[in-house]
Chains A and B, each alone.
Chain A
Amino acid sequence: MEEVRLMKGNEAIAEAAIRAGVDGYFGYPITPQSEIIEYLMLEQPHLRTGMQVLQAESEVAAINMVYGAAGCGKKAMTSSSSPGISLKLEGISYIAASELPCLIVNVQRGGPGLGTIQPSQADYFQAVKGGGHGDYRLLVLAPASVQEMADFVDLSFELAFKYRTPVMILSDGVIGQMMEKVVLPPQKERLSNEELIKKYGSWATTGKPASRERNIITSLELKSERQEAHNHKLQAKYKEISENEVRFEKLNCDDAEYLIVAYGSSARISQKAMQIGREKGIKVGVLRPITLWPFPSDEINKLADQVKGILTVEMSAGQMVEDVRLAVNGKIKVEYFGRYGGMIPSPNEVIEALEQKLIGG
């Protein structure tokens, strides 16, 4: 039988990173995600797989260590919480521009500013609309359980290497701090340079053989024509990702007259709200985006032909609601409900909001 463990979401990410064959983790502690680096330091993965774990002197240093390691073709990752991610954005833009694979984990807390250490989802815009400068995208995965925290680490690296692009796991303090059952993935071997080249091609700075020119990792291109051409290449890649990598989960949508769209811990709360609503006779379903970029716009647009109204539930002042409105394009009413600044909506509040804003209104 598979071993079932009771773990915090943060611990699950850390253990899954070791098992995904990650070469290096570089981070700086911040609540509510410090268990990631704590677990890695305690577990000493250099003894298990050779994985290196380093507490950097700052978030900026950590992301640039990831940049360097990723340039060498290594599986590299960092994690932080909201204010720390803001610090990393310059590096993230460079990594995206240099077309390097890596994983960035954001266990969100309430903002803006230093804000609070309690859960939040107010970094949605930052994650899916760029955050850093320039026309780049992050592929953003939103886990809603401890199991998904574990499962999405390997998935993130598969996607990151497939498209040579940074991937973000956008979580929050609820999923990071809670404990649930988790079945851990099997141990993957770390890749040697030869295996990396065989699997993903020889783009990394793994040493110049006589058979090819040297590889240069840079995000600088002073000739505008060439910089535009590089942008075309990036945009083509983002188009391919948005055509192939949309992921979502639908619950009770078949007969739904009303739809809740929510991700991460808000999706869990909305499922309970759905249960309460169904007991009251309200035919409500939940669509949970698993990828926030690319966003499941087509599926939401299709459901807009079936349901009477949509409520987005998010721990922000209303960010994802804009993408839902774009997807629906005015066909039906799209309303928002949320709590923020570290407050968590209750299932009862959600269903009352749905009744007031969509049914009563």
Chain B
Amino acid sequence: MTEEIIIAGFGGQGVLSMGKILAYSGIMQDMEVSWMPSYGPEMRGGTANVTVILSEEKINSPVLQEFDSAIILNQQSMDKFEESVKPGGVLLYDPNGISKHPTRTDINIYKIEAVKEAYDIGNTKAFNMIVLGAFLKIKPLVKMENVLKGLKKSLPERHHHLIPMNESAIKVGLEKVETV
């Protein structure tokens, strides 16, 4: 099993940290992982994306042009990455701020109203964990216990009191994801 994932959105949305938590969850499940960010002059409000690979085998290229799954969180990323999903692959997106919705018919498209749900639970910072929960519902690559272990590893200890809040946000995502 190898899963090649692109997570793309605005800087500040928690794209890179979502990828890191996913990668750490993979480690907790004894998988091989790689996390390759687009780095550059990007900043808060600019675009940010990260390629995460989870695999039972040794990972060769950390840089990819096509993906099994794309998690897309803004229009620029939709324009850039809709075409890079492999036929039969998964595209998950938050319709918030999306004016041109995905049109491909050879892939499986899902949506999660993560901005809205985060607002509803009164914690806009949990946005990325809602998206992660939605993705894990579609692709249960890692067990929830390992996600929680991954969270614990990724967060500095002074933030460990936030883990229950993140856990409940992941559960919101698991419940609210919809097929398009």
Please report which residues of chain A, range 321-360, place their CB below 8 angstroms from some CB of chain B when the two chains form the complex: 344, 346-348
Complex: A346 Cα to B61 Cα, angstroms: 9
Chain B residues positioned under 8 Å from A346 (CB to CB) = 63-65
Known contacts: A6-B27, A117-B39. The answer to whether A181 contacts B33 by CB under 8 A is yes
A174 and B33 contact, CB distance less than 8 A: no
Chain B residues positioned under 8 Å from A269 (CB to CB) = 60-61, 63
Complex: A274 Cα to B58 Cα, angstroms: 14
Complex: A273 Cα to B61 Cα, angstroms: 9
Complex: A233 Cα to B95 Cα, angstroms: 69
Complex: A271 Cα to B55 Cα, angstroms: 15
The answer to the question of A180 belonging to the interface, with a C-beta cut-off of 8 Å to chain B, is yes
A178 and B27 contact, CB distance less than 8 A: no
B32 and A181 contact, CB distance less than 8 A: yes
Complex: A177 Cα to B64 Cα, angstroms: 15
Known contacts: A117-B40, A118-B40. The answer to whether A180 contacts B35 by CB under 8 A is yes
Our pick among B27, B62, B154 for the contact of A181 (Cβ within 8 Å) is B27
Closest to A251 in B: B60
Chain B residues positioned under 8 Å from A180 (CB to CB) = 33-35, 59, 62
Task: Return A270 CB to nearest CB of chain B, in Å.
Answer: 8
A348 and B27 contact, CB distance less than 8 A: no
Chain A residues positioned under 8 Å from B154 (CB to CB) = 6
The answer to the question of A54 belonging to the interface, with a C-beta cut-off of 8 Å to chain B, is no
Complex: A178 Cα to B61 Cα, angstroms: 11
Chain B residues positioned under 8 Å from A317 (CB to CB) = none
Our pick among B24, B32, B36, B41 for the contact of A178 (Cβ within 8 Å) is B36
Complex: A275 Cα to B55 Cα, angstroms: 15
B60 and A174 contact, CB distance less than 8 A: no
Our pick among A4, A179, A344 for the contact of B63 (Cβ within 8 Å) is A344
A178 and B34 contact, CB distance less than 8 A: yes
Please report which residues of chain A, range 223-278, place their CB below 8 angstroms from some CB of chain B when the two chains form the complex: 265, 268-269, 271-275
Our pick among B33, B34, B39, B65 for the contact of A348 (Cβ within 8 Å) is B65
The answer to the question of B23 belonging to the interface, with a C-beta cut-off of 8 Å to chain A, is yes
Chain B residues positioned under 8 Å from A181 (CB to CB) = 27, 32-33
Complex: A6 Cα to B19 Cα, angstroms: 12
Our pick among A117, A177, A272 for the contact of B37 (Cβ within 8 Å) is A177
The answer to the question of A32 belonging to the interface, with a C-beta cut-off of 8 Å to chain B, is yes
Complex: A265 Cα to B59 Cα, angstroms: 12
Closest to A4 in B: B27
B20 and A6 contact, CB distance less than 8 A: yes
Please report which residues of chain B, range 31-61, place their CB below 8 angstroms from some CB of chain A when the two chains form the complex: 32-37, 39-41, 59-61
The answer to the question of A294 belonging to the interface, with a C-beta cut-off of 8 Å to chain B, is no
Task: Return A193 CB to nearest CB of chain B, in Å.
Answer: 38
B62 and A268 contact, CB distance less than 8 A: yes
The answer to the question of B152 belonging to the interface, with a C-beta cut-off of 8 Å to chain A, is no
Chain A residues positioned under 8 Å from B23 (CB to CB) = 6, 179
Complex: A347 Cα to B53 Cα, angstroms: 15
Known contacts: A6-B33, A275-B60. The answer to whether A177 contacts B24 by CB under 8 A is no
Chain B residues positioned under 8 Å from A268 (CB to CB) = 60-63
The answer to the question of A166 belonging to the interface, with a C-beta cut-off of 8 Å to chain B, is no
Task: Return B172 CB to nearest CB of chain A, in Å.
Answer: 26
Task: Pick 5 A–B contacts, CB within 8 A, sort by A.
Answer: A6-B23, A179-B36, A180-B35, A273-B61, A346-B63
Closest 3 CB pairs of A and B: A271-B60, A272-B61, A179-B35
List B residues at the A interface (Cβ < 8 Å). 20, 23-24, 27, 32-37, 39-41, 59-65, 153-154
